[in-house]
Chains A and B, each alone.
Chain A
Amino acid sequence: MTPEDNRYAKSHEYVHPEAEGDLVVIGISDYAQKELGDVVFVELPQVGAELEQGDEFGSIESVKAVSELFSPVSGEVVEVNEALTDKPELINTDPYGDGWMMKMRLTTPEEVDEMMTAEEYDEYVEKESAH
């Protein structure tokens, strides 16, 4: 099931609003991790990095592919998931939980509202995989 409390980008990142304030958690969707296969390495930004919506913030590697990661929102990186350094497979096993990538403080919270809902994302994915 695609979690309903997240919003989704066409490039398959999700944004999960934290309970308090303007912090969000960012990762990639379950669909994206399945497409990639076994994740073997993730490159994440430095804490403190300022990102604009659409900026490349890192990359994710499977054994025989590498994909860029794009920030779906603008803001400052306040924390990255250090656990992924040793256990990148967390992205495969728990993309919405322990496999999160970074936390950001939003500068333009409206950007989140423009992203897809879970339902819209499911439809989008269905169309994309039909190609």
Chain B
Amino acid sequence: MSLPDPLTDQHRYISNASQDVGEMLEVIGIDSIDALFETIPDDVKLKELLNIPGPWSEIESRRWFRALAAKNLTAVDHVSFLGGGAYLHYQPACIDQLLLRAEFLTSYTPYQPEVSQGTLQSIFEYQTHQCLLTGLDVANASLYDGSTGLCEAVLLAERVVRNRKRVVIAKSVHPQYTETVRTYLQNLGYEIVEVGWTDDGRIDTAALREACTSDVFAVAVQSPNFLGVIEDYDAVAQIADAAGAVKIAVICEATSLGILTPPGAHGFDIAVGEGQAWGVPTQYGGPFVGFMVVKDALKRHMPGRLVGETVDVDGKRAYVLTLATREQHIRRGKATSNICTNEALIALAANMYLSLMGKEGLREVGQQCLSKAAYLRAELQKVGLVILPFSGPIYNEFVVRTPFPAAEILADLEHAKILGGIPLGQFYEGHDNEFLVAVTELHTREHLDQFVAALTAVISRERR
């Protein structure tokens, strides 16, 4: 294929057509667009068009992409019990409508506050919600997600404590989060020490005490943890304090903050986590929104953007990006983080969700999740075909152990239009017969009964 005249096939996303181009070339004083590309050496210039499909009309695109989407088996036509760090909750209709407002969707980072007060004020509100929910003092404007948020929290802790080499991470922190931390830290000379759990599914405090040597700069636990079990924050805090380590609470299921005591109330220094559960679709893992909230004393070590309140020259209240000297565009190689683009639009969605649900709704969502998960557990226990291996308190997620490999059980459940859970064996060796089940306010009692019946049928069939 040779290179066509650039002006023969006009494109719908580009306004300027041949007449415009002619007029503009004249003002510039050249004959052709090609003349503008003379600084690119000929030997690296393409002689042909790229070998890719298109251009497609909207009609063709819809056809192709919808056909792909239709190949997925999802919660669209299955009852889903999938969690493990990504949860389907109720999404109020007005959020997505508001997100599509051009002024939110198609604006940039609010570098010019006079024409970006909408974004800035919304971030300030988002920061306030985060503080109220976690019981801590200062929240940033968002991070990529929970896993990279944990990386940033660990690095923050090291900046505060200094000259220590080890970070303790509970084995029950989301395994992909810990994997991400491992990637981030690989060249920085720090050691990650993992601490396992006991029969109740909570962190093994004896092992934690042993791991918390004077060389440890941070301790990170997740609650509810990856097994669904709510940790004993006080017990962890006490051990970490004795070692002088920064206490990091990881929260993967953000709606749990609606009813569980927040990490700030237990003296934790940093709460970091994933805000997806606040009404953001699971969308195969992203975009999500990482949140980080810290004690006031740590605010100058915070990664990412912060919005603060001030006044304009007329004394009007207004909002602006502040404490920016921490950031890469000013401190460059010595910045607290390399983050620039964050998840602003998802943080805006979270602000809308938290405002709509409000004080009462956040509690009610939490209460419903808690109650429905408890009901499902109780029903499974009644049938008695599966084991619920961990006795610790849970919020909306728990581990089920079956007599057969989880993958087989789940494949059978899929035939009954149930996405039954997440096999644990892919994360923890020797746990092949276990899977994670998550319940939210979207499940009806009928769904839960259907799950119990289907699981019972599947196991009975396997036994035969």
Q: Which positions in A face B, CB cutoff 8 Å? A: 41, 61-66
Which residue of the partner chain A has the closest CB to B329? A64
Chain A residues in 8 Å Cβ range of B300 = 41
Given A65-B325, A66-B325, A66-B331, 10 other A-B contacts at CB below 8 A?
Answer: A41-B300, A41-B325, A61-B325, A62-B325, A63-B324, A64-B324, A64-B325, A64-B330, A65-B330, A66-B330
State the Cβ distance, B398 to closest chain A Cβ, in Å: 47
Cα separation A65 to B331 with both chains bound (whole Å): 8
> Closest 4 CB pairs between A and B?
A66-B325, A61-B325, A66-B331, A66-B330
Cα separation A66 to B323 with both chains bound (whole Å): 11
Cα separation A95 to B300 with both chains bound (whole Å): 24
Q: Which of B300, B325, B330 has the most CB of A within 10 A?
A: B325
Chain A residues in 8 Å Cβ range of B325 = 41, 61-62, 64-66
Cα separation A64 to B300 with both chains bound (whole Å): 14
Q: Which positions in B face A, CB cutoff 8 Å? A: 300, 324-325, 330-331
State the Cβ distance, B464 to closest chain A Cβ, in Å: 71
Cα separation A61 to B331 with both chains bound (whole Å): 11
Cα separation A64 to B331 with both chains bound (whole Å): 10
State the Cβ distance, B190 to closest chain A Cβ, in Å: 24
State the Cβ distance, A61 to closest chain B Cβ, in Å: 4
Which residue of the partner chain B has the closest CB to A68? B334
State the Cβ distance, A22 to closest chain B Cβ, in Å: 31
Chain A residues in 8 Å Cβ range of B330 = 64-66
Chain B residues in 8 Å Cβ range of A41 = 300, 325
Chain A residues in 8 Å Cβ range of B331 = 66
13 contacts between A and B (CB under 8 A): A41-B300, A41-B325, A61-B325, A62-B325, A63-B324, A64-B324, A64-B325, A64-B330, A65-B325, A65-B330, A66-B325, A66-B330, A66-B331
State the Cβ distance, B384 to closest chain A Cβ, in Å: 63
Cα separation A66 to B331 with both chains bound (whole Å): 7
- When A and B form their complex, what is the total count of cross-chain residue pairs whose Cβ atoms lie within 8 Å? 13
Which residue of the partner chain B has the closest CB to A62? B325
Cα separation A41 to B326 with both chains bound (whole Å): 11
Chain B residues in 8 Å Cβ range of A61 = 325
Cα separation A65 to B327 with both chains bound (whole Å): 10
Cα separation A66 to B324 with both chains bound (whole Å): 10
Chain B residues in 8 Å Cβ range of A62 = 325
Cα separation A65 to B324 with both chains bound (whole Å): 9
Cα separation A63 to B324 with both chains bound (whole Å): 7
Cα separation A112 to B386 with both chains bound (whole Å): 80
Cα separation A48 to B241 with both chains bound (whole Å): 26
Cα separation A76 to B424 with both chains bound (whole Å): 58
Chain B residues in 8 Å Cβ range of A65 = 325, 330
Chain B residues in 8 Å Cβ range of A66 = 325, 330-331
Cα separation A61 to B300 with both chains bound (whole Å): 12
State the Cβ distance, A49 to closest chain B Cβ, in Å: 14
Which residue of the partner chain A has the closest CB to B300? A41
Chain A residues in 8 Å Cβ range of B324 = 63-64
Which residue of the partner chain B has the closest CB to A66? B325
Cα separation A63 to B300 with both chains bound (whole Å): 13
Cα separation A85 to B191 with both chains bound (whole Å): 35
Cα separation A41 to B331 with both chains bound (whole Å): 14
Which residue of the partner chain A has the closest CB to B320? A63
State the Cβ distance, B406 to closest chain A Cβ, in Å: 53
State the Cβ distance, B250 to closest chain A Cβ, in Å: 30
Chain B residues in 8 Å Cβ range of A64 = 324-325, 330
Cα separation A66 to B325 with both chains bound (whole Å): 6
Which residue of the partner chain B has the closest CB to A67? B325
Cα separation A65 to B329 with both chains bound (whole Å): 10
State the Cβ distance, B332 to closest chain A Cβ, in Å: 10
State the Cβ distance, B445 to closest chain A Cβ, in Å: 56
State the Cβ distance, B138 to closest chain A Cβ, in Å: 15
State the Cβ distance, B340 to closest chain A Cβ, in Å: 15
State the Cβ distance, A40 to closest chain B Cβ, in Å: 8
Which residue of the partner chain A has the closest CB to B334? A66
Cα separation A62 to B325 with both chains bound (whole Å): 8
Cα separation A113 to B325 with both chains bound (whole Å): 35
Cα separation A79 to B399 with both chains bound (whole Å): 58
State the Cβ distance, B159 to closest chain A Cβ, in Å: 13
Cα separation A63 to B330 with both chains bound (whole Å): 10
Cα separation A41 to B300 with both chains bound (whole Å): 10
Cα separation A63 to B325 with both chains bound (whole Å): 7
Cα separation A66 to B300 with both chains bound (whole Å): 13
State the Cβ distance, B120 to closest chain A Cβ, in Å: 15
State the Cβ distance, A18 to closest chain B Cβ, in Å: 31
State the Cβ distance, B260 to closest chain A Cβ, in Å: 36
Which residue of the partner chain A has the closest CB to B331? A66
Cα separation A99 to B341 with both chains bound (whole Å): 37
State the Cβ distance, A59 to closest chain B Cβ, in Å: 8
State the Cβ distance, A8 to closest chain B Cβ, in Å: 25
Chain B residues in 8 Å Cβ range of A63 = 324
Cα separation A13 to B17 with both chains bound (whole Å): 60
Which residue of the partner chain B has the closest CB to A61? B325
State the Cβ distance, A62 to closest chain B Cβ, in Å: 8
Cα separation A38 to B325 with both chains bound (whole Å): 13
Cα separation A23 to B398 with both chains bound (whole Å): 66
Q: Which of A41, A62, A66 has the most CB of B within 10 A?
A: A66
Q: Which of A41, A62, A63, A65 has the most CB of B within 10 A?
A: A63
Cα separation A65 to B325 with both chains bound (whole Å): 6
State the Cβ distance, A2 to closest chain B Cβ, in Å: 28
Cα separation A64 to B330 with both chains bound (whole Å): 7
